[in-house]
């Protein structure tokens, strides 16, 4: 008998390798229809061999040898696509319909990551509202096979000092370039994956960060090789930050149509757009389409208090009494039109939802976003590529985003074909992260 003592994933792998792969775990998924995330059409009768969580091969049933001793999973009639990547979400902030930094615990962060994963969202970028509890969660995942959604973080994002809504002990307030530089130096110690700032004057009603400070944040990010994502609303602000070299617009421009000058600049500089269309609709949809709250696919991950609160006449009345009620609707319309225009112009687009904020529910929001991208005029195939392959490119994550040999087996297995109707992404059969089947949400009722 040989006894191994190994410490840390790498050493264990090394020992396993020395032992001639004796510890390798092999799973074979058989007889499925493949949607690989690259935009190719569906390929029937496929087999995938997954070894220690990574795809070793994927090909036609007839040409794929099933290794002896493998765990064989029959997926006849199912559709296998890459797990969804949400390039703009938030974790750990919410309890029911309340947002407060006091809820930001490792347990709440992990709960949200499990919820995302259960809906097939296998990777999420938490954009600018993370306290230090995020780092041990993220660090523990890297290089291993996580049992919850993979998380990337921007740590705490930047706002102008005295901003409204207030920073609330989550976001970092700055008012000088010196402050920007010292706070980014501080932030960088934890090696965040991104830097985030908010540039939003609430239609001229509020103070916001100055171009001088956004320029300093972007320059500092560049120096440290940290991509910078900007919350913007207006065309004017989008143009400023794109010219300054921002990596991504974390939302659609939604005060007016995007113009050729912006689209050309974004394309030339490779700036990413994360449309977050559901963000706009979540402002009024529960009031306007209360039937949404009968959708178990949405409500299964919510507490009964949350669902009841959203149904209450007082909540509906408050939504309708919002002075921006009409404007929110026109912003949604504008965001959809601008998404379509940006897509047609060839701008880089990854899926972002801004879920994980109040009434924007992790997991469900991503399926909702896919449907809304379809409403905006994109095809199901284009949408799936945006939500998988493009997300991985946005992250420079070479082993995520498509179903190809060498990549992690992060998979969304569906009962129906999402290329026929994008809402079929809600027909969840199972979800895998790094080859491990995780607890997934039951399929939506049709
Ligand atoms: Zn956000």
Q: What is the pLDDT of residue 13?
A: 46
pLDDT band at 10 (very low <50, low <70, confident <90, very high): very low
What is the 75 CA–ligand 1 centroid distance (Å)?
Answer: 36
Q: What is the pLDDT of residue 22?
A: 53
Expressed as residue numbers, the domain containing 434 is 8-82+403-438
7 pLDDT above the threshold of 90: no
What is the 89 CA–ligand 1 centroid distance (Å)?
Answer: 6
Q: Is there a domain that residue 30 lies in?
A: yes
- Rounded to the nearest integer, the mean pLDDT of the chain is 93
Mean pLDDT of 72-97: 97
Query: 22 with 140, same domain?
Result: no
Model pLDDT for residues 21-45, shown as the tens digit of each residue: 457 999 999 999 999 999 999 999 9
Model pLDDT for residues 134-178, shown as the tens digit of each residue: 999 999 999 899 999 999 999 999 999 988 777 778 999 999 999
What is the 344 CA–ligand 1 centroid distance (Å)?
Answer: 25
Sign for the pseudo-dihedral over CA of 84, 89, 90, 95:
negative
Q: What backbone phi and psi angles, to 5 degrees, belong to 299? A: -80, -15
Model pLDDT for residues 241-280, shown as the tens digit of each residue: 999 999 999 999 999 999 999 999 999 999 999 999 999 8
Ranking 8-22, 64-78, 256-270, 406-420 by mean pLDDT, the lowest is 8-22
What is the 124 CA–ligand 1 centroid distance (Å)?
Answer: 12
Q: What's the token pair of residue 242? A: 């794109």
What is the 249 CA–ligand 1 centroid distance (Å)?
Answer: 11
What is the 338 CA–ligand 1 centroid distance (Å)?
Answer: 19
Query: 89 with 210, same domain?
Result: yes
How big is the chain by its Cα radius of gyration, in Å?
A: 22
What is the 439 CA–ligand 1 centroid distance (Å)?
Answer: 26
Do residues 194 and 125 make contact, with C-beta atoms less than 8 angstroms apart?
yes
4 pLDDT above the threshold of 50: no
What is the 94 CA–ligand 1 centroid distance (Å)?
Answer: 13
Distance CA 1, CA 257 (A): 70
Query: 159 with 58, same domain?
Result: no
Q: Is there a domain that residue 3 lies in?
A: no
Q: Is there a domain that residue 445 lies in?
A: no
What is the 230 CA–ligand 1 centroid distance (Å)?
Answer: 10
Nearest one of 328, 362, 166, 160 to 233, comparing CA atoms = 328
* Domain boundary, last residue among 379, 395, 411: 395
205 pLDDT above the threshold of 90: no
Query: 152 with 35, same domain?
Result: no
Query: 90 with 223, same domain?
Result: yes
Q: Is there a domain that residue 72 lies in?
A: yes
Distance CA 2, CA 20 (A): 13
Query: 24 with 98, same domain?
Result: no
Give me the count of residues in the chain. 446
Q: Is there a domain that residue 94 lies in?
A: yes
Query: 70 with 104, same domain?
Result: no
What is the 10 CA–ligand 1 centroid distance (Å)?
Answer: 35
Do residues 432 and 84 make contact, with C-beta atoms less than 8 angstroms apart?
no
Rounded-to-5 percentages of helix, strand, coil across the chain: 40, 20, 40
8 pLDDT above the threshold of 50: no
Q: Is there a domain that residue 443 lies in?
A: no
Query: 192 with 78, same domain?
Result: no
Burial class (CB in 10 A: 0-12, 13-18, 19+), 5: exposed
What is the 78 CA–ligand 1 centroid distance (Å)?
Answer: 34
What is the 371 CA–ligand 1 centroid distance (Å)?
Answer: 20
Q: What is the pLDDT of residue 186?
A: 97
Q: What is the pLDDT of residue 9?
A: 46
345 pLDDT above the threshold of 90: yes
What is the 162 CA–ligand 1 centroid distance (Å)?
Answer: 19
Nearest one of 423, 394, 440 to 149, comparing CA atoms = 440
What is the DSSP secondary-structure string of 171-216? Answer: SEEE-SHHHHHHHHHHHHTT--S-EEEE---TTTTS----HHHHHH
What is the 13 CA–ligand 1 centroid distance (Å)?
Answer: 37
Distance CA 212, CA 158 (A): 13
What is the 428 CA–ligand 1 centroid distance (Å)?
Answer: 26
What is the 88 CA–ligand 1 centroid distance (Å)?
Answer: 6
CB atoms within 10 A of CB 77: 11
Question: Which residues of 14-61 form beta strands (DSSP E)?
Answer: 26-34, 43-51, 54-60
Query: 367 with 264, same domain?
Result: yes
Instruction: Report the DSSP beta bridge partners of residue 412.
Output: 81, 431
Q: Is there a domain that residue 446 lies in?
A: no
What is the 354 CA–ligand 1 centroid distance (Å)?
Answer: 4
Query: 90 with 76, same domain?
Result: no
Do residues 361 and 302 make contact, with C-beta atoms less than 8 angstroms apart?
yes
Query: 54 with 108, same domain?
Result: no
Q: What is the pLDDT of residue 177?
A: 98
Q: Looking at residue 199, which CATH number applies to its domain?
A: 3.20.20.140
What is the 127 CA–ligand 1 centroid distance (Å)?
Answer: 6
106 pLDDT above the threshold of 60: yes
Count of domains observed in the chain: 2
pLDDT band at 323 (very low <50, low <70, confident <90, very high): confident
Query: 149 with 62, same domain?
Result: no
What is the 374 CA–ligand 1 centroid distance (Å)?
Answer: 22
Mean pLDDT of 102-114: 97
What is the 361 CA–ligand 1 centroid distance (Å)?
Answer: 13
What is the 217 CA–ligand 1 centroid distance (Å)?
Answer: 18
Q: Looking at residue 28, which CATH number applies to its domain?
A: 2.30.40.10
Distance CA 158, CA 440 (A): 35
């Amino acid at each position: 008998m040989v006894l191994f003592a190994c410490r840390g994933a790498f050493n264990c792998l090394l020992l396993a390798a020395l032992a001639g792969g004796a510890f390798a775990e092999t799973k074979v998924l058989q007889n499925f229809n493949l949607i690989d995330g690259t935009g190719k059409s569906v390929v029937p009768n496929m087999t995938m061999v997954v070894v220690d969580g990574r795809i070793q091969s994927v090909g036609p049933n007839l040409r794929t040898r099933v290794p002896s001793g493998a765990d064989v999973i029959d997926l006849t009639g199912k559709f296998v696509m890459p797990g969804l990547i949400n390039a703009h979400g938030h974790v750990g902030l919410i309890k029911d319909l309340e947002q407060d930094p006091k809820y930001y615990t490792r347990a709440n962060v992990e709960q949200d990551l499990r919820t995302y994963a259960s809906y097939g969202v296998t990777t999420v970028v938490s954009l600018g509202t993370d306290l230090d509890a995020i780092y041990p969660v993220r660090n523990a995942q890297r290089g291993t096979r996580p049992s919850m959604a993979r998380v990337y973080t921007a740590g705490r994002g930047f706002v102008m000092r005295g901003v409204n809504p207030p920073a609330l002990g989550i976001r970092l307030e700055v008012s000088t370039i010196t402050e920007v530089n010292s706070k980014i130096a501080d932030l960088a110690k934890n090696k965040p994956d991104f830097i985030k700032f908010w540039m939003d004057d609430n239609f001229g009603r509020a103070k916001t960060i100055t171009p001088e400070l956004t320029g300093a944040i972007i320059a500092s990010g560049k120096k440290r090789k940290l991509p910078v994502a900007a919350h913007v609303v207006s065309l004017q602000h989008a143009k400023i930050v794109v010219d300054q070299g921002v990596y991504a617009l974390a939302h659609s421009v939604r005060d007016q149509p995007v113009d050729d000058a912006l689209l050309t600049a974004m394309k030339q500089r490779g700036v990413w757009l994360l449309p977050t269309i559901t963000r706009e609709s979540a402002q009024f949809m529960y009031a306007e389409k209360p039937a949404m709250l009968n959708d178990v696919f949405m409500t299964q991950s919510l507490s009964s208090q949350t669902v009841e609160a959203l149904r209450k006449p007082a909540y509906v009345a408050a939504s309708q009494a919002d002075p921006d009620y009409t404007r929110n609707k026109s912003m949604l319309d504008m965001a959809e039109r601008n998404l379509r225009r940006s897509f047609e112009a060839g701008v880089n687009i990854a899926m972002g939802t801004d879920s994980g904020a109040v009434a924007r529910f992790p997991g469900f929001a991503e399926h909702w976003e896919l449907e809304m991208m379809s409403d905006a005029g994109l095809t199901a195939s284009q949408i799936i590529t945006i939500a998988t392959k493009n997300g991985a490119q946005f992250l420079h994550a070479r082993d995520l985003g498509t179903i190809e040999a060498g990549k992690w087996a992060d998979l969304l297995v569906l009962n129906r074909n999402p290329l026929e109707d994008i809402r079929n992404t809600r027909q969840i059969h199972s979800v895998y992260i790094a080859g491990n089947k995780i607890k997934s949400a039951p399929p939506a009722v049709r």
